[in-house]
Structure 1
Amino acid sequence: MFSFSSMPLLQTLIIGNLRGVVLQKEALYSKSLQTLSIGRIEEIKDKEFRNIFLNCPNLKVLEIKNTDFSKTDVRKVLLPLKHLISLAIVNCGINQMTPLNDFTNLTYIDYSFNRIKEIQGNVFQNLSRFNKFVLQSNILNNINQTFLPHVLWEKKEFFLDVSSNPFDCGCQLEWFRVWVENNKDRAIGYPNSYICNSPSELKEKSLSNFDPASECHKINPYIILTFTSLGFLSILIFTTVLLRKFRWDIKYYIYICRNRKPMGYKRFTDDEEFLYDAFIAYNTNDRKWIMSELVRMLERNHKYKLCLHERDIIPGRVYVEEILESIDTSRKLILVLSNNFMEDQWCKYETALASHTLADGDGHKLFLVLLEDIRSEHINRSLKVLLKSISHVELTENKTGQRIFWETIKQFMDNN
C-alpha cells in the first residue's frame, strides 16, 4: 500500500513480471505519475484492480501487457484517468472494445494481440484528438464505414493499423479495400501485412489482390436477360406504335411501288360479254355511302358501270334469279361489308354466292370493302375464308388511308 507515495517527483513507472505479487487498491498512489507501463500480472482480483488507478489523477500514458482482462470491465478500471493521452492494452484477452468517449484527450490507442472481432464507431465518438489506432493481430475479418466515425475516415492526420488480421476478402470488404487503396500512407503495414484468410482463391494473399471492381460488380445473367427482354419489348411496342400511326403512309408507299404502271396503260373492258363493270352487294342502311361516295367515285369520276340492286334490278321477276343474272353479267363482284350487311338475310345470300365464286376459281373477280370493324359475332366461317383468300380494303378517316382506299378499289376495277 502507498508504495510510491514517498516519491513526489515520480513521473514514469515500469512494472513487469509481477509473479506472485498482488496489486492492491492504493498500490499506485502517486499524484506526480504520468507514464505507467505494467507487464505481466499473473493474478488479478477484480474488486481491487477496479480501483487501482483511483489515486493516479495525472496519469497520461498507460500501457498494460500480457495480463488477462477477459473478465475485467476495462472502462471502469480506466474511468479515473481523465487526462489519458495514450492507451495500450496489448495481449490481454479482450474480445470487445468498451466505449472510450469519456477520455476526450486520447490521441493514441493500441489494442493489439487481443480477440476483437468487430468495433462500432460510437466507441470513439468524442475523441476529436484521436490520430492513431492500432488493432494488429486481432480476429477482424471485416471493416466497414461504421467501424470508425466518419470524421476519422476523412481525417488526414489519422492513421490505422489493422495488419495481421484474418480478413474475409469478399464483397463485404469492398469499401475498406477502396479506402486503403486511396489512403496507403494512412494504412500502416499495407499491403504486405494485410493478408486474406478467405475465400480460398485469395487465402494467404495480400488484400491488394482482391479486386472488387471485377469481383463485386459482375452483371447477373438474369439482369441481362431482363434488360434484353425489356429492350426487345420496348422496340416491339415502339415499332407497333409507329406502324399504327403511319400505317396508311406505309401502305400507300407499298401500293405506289407495287402498282406503278407503264405510260399509256388503259383499262380493257369486254363490253360484249358483260353488262356491268361490277355488281355491288350492300345493305340498304349503307345506301347513303354507296350513292354519295362509291357511285360518285367509280361511275362519275372513272366511268365504270355499276349494278345496284335498288337501281338496276327490274321489279316483278324472281329476286334470286335477278341477283344471279346480275352477278353473272358483271365483270366484278364487290361486297360492301358492315354490321348491317352481316345481319341482312339477302346479304348473307350474296356472301354465300361470293364463296361459291371463290370455290370455282374465280376469286380474282371478288373484292371486299369494309365500311367498319365487323363485330366478332358476325364473323362466320364463309367471311373468314373470304377475308383470308381475296383482296379487301378498309374505310378510314385518315387522308392518306383514303387515298389508298380509292386507288386500291380502282386498281381492282382496272384488272381483268
Structure 2
Amino acid sequence: MLVPLRKLSSLTIVNGGINQITVLNDFTNLTYIDYSFNRIKEIQGDVVQNLTKLNQFVLQSNGLNNINQTFLPDFLWKKKNFLLDVSSNPFDCGCQLEWFRVWVENNKDRVTGYPNNYICDSPSELKGKSLSNFDPALECHKINPYIILTSISCGLLSILIFTTILLRKFRWDIKYYFYICKNRKPMGYRRFTDDEEFLYDAFIAYNTNDRKWIMSELVRMLERNHKYKLCLHERDIIPGGVYVDDILESIDTSRKLILVLSNNFMDDQWCKYETALASHTLADGDGHKLFLILLENIRSEHINRSLKVLLKSISHVEWTENKTGQRMFWQTLKQFMDKS
C-alpha cells in the first residue's frame, strides 16, 4: 500500500492493531511518524536507518517495556531537533532501562510528555511511579555482597601476609624493642658480685664442634670485651684427672653455668651429662645460676623431657646473624652475667 508513496513526508497509523513496524528506509522524505495506540513491543534502529529528515517519532501507548541504544540509529539520538514520544508505555524500570533513563535525564526537552506520562509498570516496588523515580546509580550499581566479602577477605589476607613478612624481617628489632622496655634498669644500677668465692664467672658447656663460635664470639665478647673469666673444658681443665670429677669441680667453682645448645651438643654424651647436671642444679633451687644459648634450631628428636624443663624454667636466648638480634643477645647475656 505504501510502496508508491515515495515522497511521503508524514505517516500516521493510529490504533491499527499493528505489532511491528515495517521497514521504512525507502521513504527518505519522512519527517513525522506516528504509531500511537498499537501493540508494538519492540523496534530496531534499522527500521528508520535512512530517515535522515525525521524530526518526530511518536510511539505513545504501545507495549514497549524497554528502550535501549539500538532502538534508534545513532544520528537520531544525537539530532538536536528530534522529538521522541514513547509515553504511556508499560516500562520495566530495571537495569535494562538504564541507558534510556540516563539519556532522558540529559535530553528532557527532546522527550514529549516526560516525566508525567512515563510510568513504571514493573518491578513491583516502582509500579505506578514515574520513570524519574528510577535511579540507576542506586539500583544498578549495588556492590554484590559476595564481592564485598571477597574484597574484605583478600584485604585481610594481604594485611596478614604483609604483617607476617614485616614481623619476619624485623623480628629482631621488635624483640629488641620489647627487651629494652621490659629490662629497663632503674637509676643507680650496678653489678654486685663476690668474685672471691669463685674461680670463674661462668662454666661454658659446649660441644667441641662448636669451638669456632665459642672462641670467635663468646670468648671475644665476654672475656676480652667485658673481662669475665670463663671456664672452657678444652682450655682450663688439666688432663690427667678423673674427667667427671674435674667437670663437677669446675662447675662448683663457677658462678654461672652456661649451656651452648646445638644439635652437635645434643648428640654428645658428655654434653648430655652436663645437661643432667644443669637439671640437678635447677632441682636444687639454683636455677638463677643457669643460662641456655641456642646456637641453632634443635631437631625434634633431641628435645627430651629434661631439655623441655630447662627451656621452660630458666633464661635462654637464641643466636642469630641479624645485627639487631645480636645486640639483644649480648645485652641479655650480659644482664645474666651481671646478676650475683
TM-score (norm 1): 0.73
* 1:339 matched to 2:263: yes
Summarize the alignment of residues 23-62 of structure 1 with structure 2, pairs less than 5 Å apart. Answer: 52-53=1-2, 56=4, 59=5
Q: Deviations over 1:255-306 (max 9, x none)?
A: 3333333455332223354332222121111101101221121112212121
Which residue in 1 is equivalent to 2:134?
210
- Displacement of 1:242 in angstroms is 2.9
In the alignment, the residues of structure 2 paired with residue 130 and residue 377 of structure 1 have an alpha-carbon distance, to the nearest angstrom, of 91
Is 1:248 equivalent to 2:172 in the alignment?
yes
Q: Secondary structure at the match of 1:185?
A: helix
Q: What is the distance in 1 between the residues matched to 2:284 and 2:107?
A: 90
In structure 2, what is the equivalent of residue 224 of structure 1? 148
Change over 3 Å in CA distance of 1:159–1:260 after alignment to 2: same
Q: How far, CA to CA, are the matches of 2:26 and 2:34 in structure 1? A: 17
Q: Deviation at 1:93?
A: 2.5
Summarize the alignment of residues 99-110 of structure 1 with structure 2, pairs less than 5 Å apart.
99-110=23-34
Tell me by how many angstroms 1:361 deviates: 4.4
Structure 1 segments of 4 or more deviating over 6 A? none
Across the aligned residues of Structure 1 and Structure 2, the Cα RMSD in angstroms comes to: 2.7
The equivalent residue for 2:222 is 298
Matching residue within 284, 288, 292 for 1:368: 292
SS at match of 1:214: helix
Provide the C-alpha distance between the structure 2 equivalents of 1:170 and 1:277, rounded to a whole number of angstroms: 85
Q: Does 1:122 align with 2:46?
A: yes
Q: Within 5 Å, which residues of 2 pair with 1:19-98? A: 52-53=1-2, 56=4, 59=5, 81=6, 83-98=7-22
Give the Cα separation in 2 of the matches to 1:106 and 1:358: 108
Structure 1 stretch 224-233 or stretch 204-213: which is displaced more?
224-233
260-269 vs 186-195, greater mean Cα deviation: 260-269
Shift in Å at residue 192 of structure 1? Answer: 0.6
Q: Percent identity?
A: 86
| Higher helix residue share | 2
Alpha-carbon deviation of 1:95?
2.2
State the partner residue of 2:158.
Answer: 234
Displacement of 1:378 after TM fit?
Answer: 4.2
Gaps of 5+ in 2: none
Name the counterpart of 1:401: 325
Unmatched 5+ stretches in structure 1: 1-51, 60-80
Q: Which residue matches 1:307?
A: 231
Evaluate the alpha carbon distance shift between residue 415 and residue 172 of structure 1 in structure 2; reply closer, same or farther with a 3 A threshold: farther
Aligned to 1:277: 201
Encode CA deviations 1:168-215: one digit per residue, 9 max, x unaligned: 112222222222122111111111111111122221111112222222
Across the two proteins, how many residue pairs are aligned to each other? 340
CA distance in 1, matches of 2:145, 2:327: 50
Question: Partner of 1:173 in structure 2?
Answer: 97
In structure 1, distance between residues paired with 2:300 and 2:54: 82
Q: Which amino acid aligns with 2:110?
A: R
Structure of greater relative contact order (alpha carbons < 8 Å, 6+ residues apart):
2
Provide the C-alpha distance between the structure 2 equivalents of 1:197 and 1:306, rounded to a whole number of angstroms: 95
CA pair 290-167 structure 1, distance change in 2 beyond 3 A: same
- Counterpart CA distance in 1 for 2:26 and 2:271 is 100
Q: Residues 121 and 303 from structure 1, CA distance in 2 versus in 1: closer, same or farther, beyond 3 angstroms?
A: same
Q: Which moved more, 1:388-397 or 1:295-304?
A: 388-397
Q: What secondary structure is seen at the aligned counterpart in 2 of 1:340?
A: helix
Partner amino acid, structure 1, of 2:30? L
